Homo-oligomer: A and B are copies of this chain.
């Protein structure tokens, strides 16, 4: 019941790109360094994010990565599912007939609800939201003492 590192890394990497000056390219090795992510592993994650259209990548000497679309059009759900595949809170949600073969299952209904809420939350949170919040936290770093 836990996000994999791929997902965690992906979110942090995307946030890293989103909070950099948009006019300059970001290089994965630097992201890895800043975010403390194994560099070669990150290239795989970046590749998934690129295939999902969330990053645009450029090869060559002046290459690197940039956001594939505006940050407010990228949801956290998209990021996570890009690197982990579709989220299922329980096996019985993967395909119909996995748990409720014959009779209806009350647990199944619960998983549907829980999954709906979780996915809703992640789908409604954009990378832009996170980036904005990051800026707030940076400008008032003492804020977390009040929390």
Residues of chain A at the chain B interface (Cβ within 8 Å):
1-5, 7-8, 11-12, 15, 76, 80, 84, 87-92, 100, 103-107, 109-111, 113-114, 117-118, 121-122, 125, 130-131, 133-134, 137-138, 141, 143-144
Q: Are B143 and A90 in contact (CB under 8 A)?
A: no
On whether A130 and B106 interact (CB within 8 A), knowing A89-B2, A90-B3, A118-B118, the answer reads yes
Q: Are B104 and A143 in contact (CB under 8 A)?
A: yes
Q: Are B106 and A8 in contact (CB under 8 A)?
A: no
Separation in Å of the A5 CB from the closest CB of chain B?
Answer: 8
**Contact partners of A5 in chain B: CB under 8 A:** 91
Separation in Å of the A102 CB from the closest CB of chain B?
Answer: 9
Separation in Å of the A86 CB from the closest CB of chain B?
Answer: 10
Separation in Å of the A134 CB from the closest CB of chain B?
Answer: 5
